[in-house]
Amino acid sequence: QVQLVESGGGLVQPGESLRLSCAASGSFFKVNVMDWYRQAPGKERELIAGFTSGGGTAYADSVKGRFTISRDNAKNTVYLQMNNLKPDDTAVYSCHAEVQKTPFPNFYSYWGQGTQVTVSS
């Protein structure tokens, strides 16, 4: 079984920062894709940060320039540094991973439990 455990959410004021972490644990061969999604009240879940096939990073326009995704492959952990937070960033943030359980290229999708981020004065 594979688990994604997130941490780092909370309540902050506009302009402040938070850092989210998501660690993959369990029995697997390799974690391939790791990215971050969020779902605001009354809205659909959206992909906000991830890694490109070329090893770069990509962001939704709404967070570009303020959020930074990074990854520690040795720890199977992905981070999301969120700066200059705005009330519109209020949402449940979830990490997602595509995992290989064996050396064969069969990929399985997993989600974290979600962590609440609330930006309010």
pLDDT in tens, 21-74: 999 999 999 998 999 999 999 999 999 999 998 889 999 999 999 999 999 999
CA distance 13 to 2: 34
Binned at pLDDT 50, 70 and 90, residue 107 comes out as: very high
CA distance 97 to 76: 10
Q: Please give the single-letter amino acid code of residue 20.
A: L
Q: What percent of the chain shows pLDDT beyond 90? A: 93
CA distance 57 to 80: 12
Residue 53: the pLDDT is: 85
pLDDT at 86 over 90: yes
Q: How many CB atoms lie within 10 A of CB 70?
A: 13
* Three-state DSSP class for residue 3: strand
Residue 91: the pLDDT is: 98
* Three-state DSSP class for residue 72: strand
Q: Are 18 and 12 in contact (CB under 8 A)?
A: yes
Residue 54: the pLDDT is: 86
CA distance 109 to 34: 10
pLDDT at 92 over 90: yes
